[in-house]
Structure 1
Amino acid sequence: MTGERPIGEDDLQAFVDGRLGSSRHEAVRAYLDDHPALADQVKLEIDLREALRARLAFKAAEPVPSRLRIANLMAAQRRPSWGRNAAVAAAVAGLFIGTVLGAAGGVWWVGSDHRAGTSVAGNAIAAHRIYVGERLHPVEVPAEQEAHLVQWLSRRVGKPLTAPNLTVQGYRLIGGRLLPDSGEAAALFMYENAGGNRLTLYARSGGTEEQTSFRFESRDDVSAFSWIDNGLSYVVTAKAERAQLLPIAETIYRQLEATSDPAKSRL
């Protein structure tokens, strides 16, 4: 492997997505063999990707909309320029969404919901930065009043909420608070580990989408995974590497799924 560039984040993500050439694929596999902890995280991400692909397979199986068929695209080219430009722009946007859905195994951000998801994640990261540094008043309601906290925030957000149990991941709930988000109410649950590092789960009523896959972003030293499920936008944020935050986000996702469908908690 002399002369090859080091294995990086892009290689690991391409490995998860199945986009590596054979030689690079083998190089990444050998690297993961030497780093079992990272290999476990990569396997979790692959499993999650496949699970989400299966759950959103119906979307990829839908027929191509008539407006995106070749004959209709060609007809659009013969229209006046003002109408043709709008039609072509819509077609390109639709084709891009379809391509992402097929390649990423269920990444489903559509139109305004994509922008809404991005806005919620940005607001969640901003709230995380503001409140995790607070030592005297990081939360409005402490964990000792968890039942009241969850009931209060659920009522204000307008949907049933849950404070996930992250004890196995080394984090304990320290409480939560109510926040504004673009005219809507948002809930912020805060957790802390034995080392004093804090993690937040942000939730607010989402857009029209019922479910999307995870979307990752990193701003400076803060990482976040966001998704929509059952009409709620969620963002889990921490000062952590992507591979460290993913299993926590997955745990939260599974707990929330089990709560929304009690039958799943017995699986």
Structure 2
Amino acid sequence: MSGPHAPIGEDDLQAFIDDRLGAERRGVVESYLAEYPDVAERVATDRRLRDSLRADLQAKFAEPIPLRLRIASIRAAQRARRAGVLRRAAAAAVIFLVGGGAGWIGGRAHEAPGARLAFGGGGVAPVAEDAVSAYRTFVVEVAHPVEVRAANEAHLLQWLSKRLGRRLVAPDLSEFGYRLMGGRLLPGGGGAAAQLMYDDPSGRRLTVYVQAATGTETAFRFRQEGEASTFAWIDHGFGFAVTTTAGREELLPVAEAVYRSFDGGSEAGPAQKG
């Protein structure tokens, strides 16, 4: 069911937060929020996150547009890409005719539908996907959950900072009951990525994931995949993600603390109430 009378879903709430709804649908969502104060409070919190992150990045928006992002440059790049596609298509046709097309097609048929290209895309979604994948891979490890343990924290952070090209810190999450176990270097986003792992007294594990990322999304994005919950965001050319089995409301203040740690320890986090 679609249209103004369709049930309110997460996509509607995200569109409302980002001011992307039409007037009619916006009225329906506002009526829904008036009926459900707990959801309204969550939406208000997400809006504060968005506004705070946008304010933090306002200086970047005020800078002159880089040459690579100007219309003339983009059009020139598009023309070059189209020419490259035509050249590759022609080459593929030659390979198909000369080398035997049936085997080539058969090999491509084994690819998973909708698979994301290793160097394609941009934004928060690929960061969250990579973070969840790394979380699922290493959170179950007993003998080797991390590559370098917390006892060598200084060495770990220096090593990861050098490989990622930015200064990394290990956020202090002790107020939430988590202690640093250590971390590891991973491939991610066409380059290097870092994963820091924490655990609490019950043995529950949490990971903080960092990789270079493209995109201009300045709000936290929440992702639920099975038992794994993730908050992800992009800031100054890097994507960040916090993943664990906690629910959204429990994970949000942890994500805010991680954000503040990487933002240089600013006093007001993205969800701070005015």
TM range (shorter): 0.5 to 0.7
Change (3 A) 1:22 1:224: same
Q: Report what 2:51 is aligned to.
A: 50
Aligned to 1:242: 248
Aligned partner of residue 217 in structure 1, secondary structure: strand
How far apart are residue 258 of structure 1 and its match?
1.9
Q: 1:12·1:28 contact (CA, 8 Å) conserved in 2? A: no
Give, in whole Å, the separation in 1 of the partners of 2:62 and 2:136: 37
Q: Please state whether the residue corresponding to 1:46 is helix, strand or coil.
A: helix
In 2: Cα distance, 1:249 partner to 1:131 partner:
20
Maintained 8 Å contact 2:183/2:195: yes
**8 Å contact kept, 1:113–1:207:** no
Are the equivalent residues in 1 in contact too, given 2:223–2:230 (CA < 8 A)?
Answer: yes
Give the alignment's TM-score, normalised by structure 1: 0.62
Per-residue deviation, 1:140 = 1.7
Q: 1:66 to 1:190 in 2, by over 3 A?
A: closer
Paired residue for 2:135, among 128, 137, 157?
Answer: 128
Structure-2 change in CA distance of 1:15 and 1:248 (3 Å) = farther
Letter of the structure 2 residue corresponding to residue 28 of structure 1 = L
CA distance in 2, matches of 1:183, 1:128: 18
Asked if the contact 1:139/1:190 (under 8 Å) is kept, the reply is yes
Q: Structure 2 CA distance, aligned partners of 1:188 and 1:180?
A: 10
**Is residue 2:204 matched to residue 1:203?**
no
Residue 230 (structure 2) aligns with: 224
| One-letter amino acid of the counterpart of residue 142, structure 2 | R
SS of alignment partner, residue 173 of structure 1: strand
Q: How far has the Cα of 1:162 moved from its partner?
A: 0.8
- Whole-angstrom CA distance in 1 between matches of 2:36 and 2:53: 26
| Runs (5+) with no aligned partner, structure 1 | 68-82, 87-111
Please name the residue that 2:263 is paired with.
257
Q: What code does the residue aligned with 1:172 have?
A: R
Q: Would you say the 8 A contact 2:123–2:234 is kept in 1? A: no
> What amino acid is the match of 2:50?
R
Contact in 2 for aligned 1:7/1:28 (Cα 8 Å) = no
Supply the AA of the counterpart residue of 1:229: D
What RMSD in Å do the two structures reach over aligned CA positions? 4.0
Name 1:160's counterpart in structure 2: 167
| Cα distance in 2 between the residues matched to 1:142 and 1:125 | 21
Shift of 1:142: 1.8
Paired AA for residue 219 in structure 1: E
Partner of 2:75: none
With structure 2 as the length reference, what TM-score do the two structures score?
A: 0.61
Give unpaired runs (5+ residues) of structure 2: 73-78, 83-118, 270-274
The partner residue of 2:179 within 172, 179, 201 is 172
Which residue, out of 120, 130, 138, partners 2:145? 138
| 1:128 CA displacement | 0.4
**Which is helix-richer, 1 or 2?**
1
Secondary structure in 1 aligned to 2:175?
Answer: coil
- CA deviation vs aligned residue, 1:63-92 (integer Å, no higher than 9, x gap): 9x878xxxxxxxxxxxxxxx8xx8xxxxxx
The corresponding residue for 1:78 is none
- Residue identity over aligned pairs, in percent, reads 43
Instruction: Identify the structure with bigger relative contact order (alpha carbons < 8 Å, sequence gap 6+).
Output: 2
After superposition, the Cα gap between the structure-2 partners of 1:141 and 1:40, relative to the gap in structure 1 and judged at 3 Å, is farther
